[in-house]
Chain A
Amino acid sequence: MTLPAGTDAVRQSLASFRQEREADWKAFEALLARVEKRAPRALSEDELLSLPLLYRSALSSLSVARATSLDSALIAYLEALCLRGYFYLYGARRSLRTRIGDFFLRDWPAAIRDLWREVWTSVALTVTGAIAGYWLVASDKRWYDAIIAPSLAGGRNPDSSTEMLRSVLYGGGDHLLSGFAAYLFTHNTQVSILAFALGFAFAVPSVLIILMNGCMLGALFQVYAAKGLGFELGGWLSIHGTTELFAIAIAGAAGMRIGTSIAFPGELTRMAAAARAGRVAATAMVGVTVMLLLAGLLEGIGRQTITSDVARYSIGGGMLALWISYFYLLRMVRHGDG
């Protein structure tokens, strides 16, 4: 029994395969480690040009190794290296500035336009909720505590005196209120995220959250209207409220879109319909956060310093007009790479 000739030759050629290419693999690995940590600007022009070449050479090494070598550690190394390279080179990442520019000029208004049916349904639901809330509290004031959590009411309830209610409306630069505004911002954003995320359950929870939000509005309104302060409350609310309520309505609309496209996927598979709706809705949600932040700023700065009803109404109305024209009238025509 003798060994078949050639095992040594095979061993030699595979050893030299690794020896000859190892330097390239190491160079590729080092370059990847650098570009993953810092921006591609950190590389020189030569290094940048060598990146795709090294990637392809690693891929071809992987193919050769899979076909001829039985060293599983080597193959695992090359697979991991190629995967890292693939994710980096085909990640098609744009710079942060173009991403942000695209978002504000194109993606955000387009997402809202795409959601137009859900958005107006959501606005209608808010109005319905508000009427229901007003009517409930008008019929029995105990409903108020059931609708508005005491932590959100800020001491306002049906038993408050007219002076107390008025002082909240025209309170001026009270330090505590700015903390309260920040709390309201996080609360509102949380409500919006819930209205969005819960839409997954066939849109039912989103509808309920939006209705409930309208209810709270109506209940608060009734308390003030009963004391003859309805017009003043409208001004106090509208300075930031038009932005804020519109944002919450959009969040509900995003949730409804997800729920309805899971329930009625149309020609797509349920998974594909969900993935498509999810991406439109997520873009809308980033917009919602921006709107709520703006509403928080208006609330924190504008509401306490601007005490004239007319100015409040005009700022609130102006913001609403601004949002509607931004979403529905601004259509950027872009040429070239889209």
Chain B
Amino acid sequence: MATARNPAALIRPLVTPEGVDLRLKLADAGTRASGFLLDVVIVITAAVVVSLVAIFGLGGLGVKDAEPLFIVWIIFIFLLRNVYFIAFEAGRRAATPGKRMVGVRVASRSGAGLTLDQVIARNLMREIEIFLPLSILAARGSAGVADTLSTIFGLVWALLFSLFPLFNRDRLRIGDLLAGTWVVEAPKVALVEDLSLRKDPIAARFQFSAAQLDAYGIAELHKLEEVLRRDDYFAMKAVAETIGRKIGAKIDSVDSKAFLTAYYGELRAHLERKLLLGNRKADKHAR
């Protein structure tokens, strides 16, 4: 899959009317599958809870009085299965609770607002993608006539549709294809501290020459930022040793974090200065 190897393959341009490209990131197949499974768990839990209440209601009231309750139950289960996805995706956040938990939402491929008919089209198609093959299998299995051929047919059908997102560039399922939608990442990102403003008494001891700062580029800077934010002692020690070897500096392993903080701050200021002067040094190989 292109997903795991090259995250850039999932980035699509989205130019706002103000002329800024927001670089939409499509949700990968794993994220979407986990979002859907969360939704399934929610729907099943709700169905079980309501059914239990309905059964105890039947027991408590006697079958004759429970008749209206039975109708309400049938309609509720039906609504749960068919309306849950539509109602949440037509809402303001265009995402079911499961999608919200994994940080994705539905969007229109054209970049315009998502309309109700699109949401309905993409969700009705789920009926043949997931539920139909499953219910065929369940019906066959319970009737005891699950011969090998029809089971295989059902499974192949289910897989053909559920794996459809893996076979196209935009990770569309059949419903997305018909509705003109796609699923994009819309995570809630918190604003975190600026690492180069970190005050560290030991870090002030380190001084770097221009040659030492020229050893790396922007790609390595971002990796360094990741390591510092993760704050893992052994990772920082290993990275500090590698950098020390490359730029010819001697660091005690207890000072790894301070060293990396200092080097990060200096390297970033150095590269940002180059950036202002029109030189975006992409990685250590660039001049």
Listed in ascending order, the chain A residues whose CB lies under 8 Å from chain B are 1-4, 6-8, 10-11, 14-15, 18, 22, 25-26, 35-37, 56, 59, 62-63, 67-74, 76-77, 79-84, 86-88, 90-93, 99, 103, 107, 175-176, 178-179, 181-183, 185-186, 189, 193-194, 196-198, 200, 258, 271, 274-283, 285-286
Q: Assuming A70-B271, A182-B71, is B23 touching A79 (CB within 8 A)?
A: yes
Instruction: Decide if B285 is an interface residue (CB 8 Å cutoff).
Output: no
Instruction: Tell me the smallest distance from the CB of A193 to a CB of chain B, in Å.
Output: 5
28 pairs, CB–CB < 8 Å, chain A vs chain B = A15-B197, A26-B191, A35-B92, A56-B18, A59-B20, A70-B222, A72-B225, A73-B192, A80-B188, A87-B186, A88-B92, A90-B16, A92-B113, A179-B70, A181-B71, A182-B70, A182-B71, A183-B74, A186-B78, A278-B118, A278-B177, A278-B180, A279-B115, A279-B179, A280-B117, A282-B121, A282-B124, A285-B124
Asked if A83 meets B186 with Cβ closer than 8 Å, knowing A11-B196, A15-B197, the reply is yes
Contact present for A77 and B125 (CB under 8 Å):
no
Given the interface pairs A70-B268, A275-B178, the reply to whether A18 lies near B194 with Cβ below 8 Å is: yes
Contact A274 B178 (CB under 8 A): yes
Would you call B208 an interface residue if the criterion is a C-beta within 8 Å of the partner chain's C-beta atoms?
yes
Contact between chains at A68 and B225 (CB < 8 Å): no
The 5 closest A-B pairs by CB, nearest first: A278-B178, A282-B121, A275-B180, A92-B113, A1-B209
Residues of B contacting A25 in the complex (Cβ-Cβ under 8 angstroms): 191
Q: Of B75, B109, B196, B209, which contacts A3 at CB under 8 A?
A: B209
Instruction: List B residues at the A interface (Cβ < 8 Å).
Output: 14, 16-18, 20, 22-24, 64, 67-68, 70-71, 74-75, 77-78, 82, 92-94, 105, 107, 109, 111-118, 120-121, 124-125, 127-128, 132, 174, 177-180, 186-192, 194-197, 208-211, 213, 218, 221-222, 225, 229, 265-266, 268-273, 275-276
A178-B67 contact, Cβ under 8 Å, with A68-B276, A77-B189: yes
Residues of A within 8 A of B187 (CB): 80
Contact status B272-A274, CB under 8 Å = no
**Bound: A7/B275 CA distance, A:** 12
Q: How far is the CA of A194 from the CA of B68 in the complex (A)?
A: 28
Contacts of A183 in B (CB 8 A): 74
Would you call A11 and B112 a contact (CB within 8 A)?
no
Apart from A68-B272, A197-B127, A282-B121, what 4 extra A-B contacts exist at CB < 8 Å?
A: A11-B268, A179-B70, A274-B177, A285-B121
Q: How far is the CB of A22 from chain B (nearest CB, A)?
A: 7
Distance from B2 Cβ to chain A, minimum over Cβ atoms (Å): 19
Bound-state Cα–Cα, A1 to B94, Å: 57
Please give, as numbers and ranges, the residues of chain A lying within 8 Å of B114 by CB-CB distance.
Answer: 91
Task: Give A91 to B23 CA distance when docked, in angstroms.
Answer: 17
User: For residue B67, which residues in chain A have a CB less than 8 angstroms away from its CB?
Assistant: 175-176, 178-179
A74, A84, A103, A275 — most chain B CB neighbours (10 Å): A275
Q: Complex: how many Å from CA A18 to CA B210? A: 26
List the A side residues contacting B275 at CB < 8 Å: 67-68, 70
In contact, B177 and A197 (Cβ under 8 angstroms): no
Measured CB to CB, the nearest residue on chain A to B65 is A175
Bound Cα distance from A77 to B190, whole angstroms? 6
Which residue of chain B has its CB nearest to the CB of A62?
B20
Partner of A59, one of B18, B93, B195, B270: B18
B177 to chain A, nearest CB (A): 6
CB distance from B171 to the nearest CB of A (A): 14
Shortest CB-to-CB span from B127 to chain A, Å, is 5
CA distance A15 to B208 in the complex (A): 21
Residues of A within 8 A of B269 (CB): 7-8, 10-11
Q: Which of B116, B127, B195 has the most CB of A within 10 A?
A: B116
State in angstroms the CA–CA spacing of A81 and B196 once bound together.
22
Given the contacts A25-B191, A275-B178, A194 and B128 also touching, CB distance less than 8 Å: yes
Q: CA A130 – CA B112 in complex, angstroms?
A: 45
Asked if residues A277 and B120 are in contact (CB atoms below 8 Å), the reply is no
User: What separation, in Å, do the CA atoms of A305 and B22 have in the docked complex?
Assistant: 61
- Contact pick for B121, options A37, A73, A279, CB 8 Å: A279
Q: By CB atoms of chain A within 10 A, which of B14, B68, B78 has the most?
A: B78
Asked if A196 and B180 make an inter-chain contact with CB atoms under 8 angstroms apart, the answer reads: no
B265, A1: Cβ atoms closer than 8 Å = no
Residues of B within 8 A of A56 (CB): 18
Closest Cβ of chain A: how far from B25's Cβ, in Å? 9
B16 to A, closest residue via Cβ: A86
Which of chain B's residues has its CB closest to A12's CB?
B269
Contacts of B197 in A (CB 8 A): 15
**Do A194 and B222 touch (CB < 8 A)?**
no
A36 neighbours in B (Cβ, 8 Å): 92-93
Assembled-state Cα–Cα distance A6/B221 (Å):
19
Asked whether, in the complex, the Cβ of A258 is within 8 Å of the Cβ of B178, the reply is: yes
